[in-house]
Structure 1
Amino acid sequence: MTNTEPTMENDESRTTESITEHLYEALRTQDEAEKHRHIRESLQLVESLEERK
């Protein structure tokens, strides 16, 4: 029997993946407003990781 509840490590890994995806999209897009949105969302995710520690 396995535990399917997310662990803190899994949650941190998913958050890190989300940060990476947002930063990748910020680099990819030509729209300045979209770039700024992705960067803001990345920063918010980084702050949430720091708060957990």
Structure 2
Amino acid sequence: MHTSHLTCAVRFSHYSISFVVNFLFSVVIKYRSSVIQHYQTYRNKTTELFSV
């Protein structure tokens, strides 16, 4: 009983850790794509200003 409870807790913690890691990974990917997009628009604006 005690060992099965322990394995259940370990399994639950493993699932929660993998869920948190996947969530952070998806957030980082979304944030990175938005940052790259903003950086490209900012760079385009600065090049337009300097070209004029």
TM-score, with structure 2 as normaliser: 0.45
TM-score, with structure 1 as normaliser: 0.44
Higher helix share: 2
Larger Rg: 2
Query: RCO (CA 8 Å, sep 6+): is it higher in 1 or 2?
Result: 1
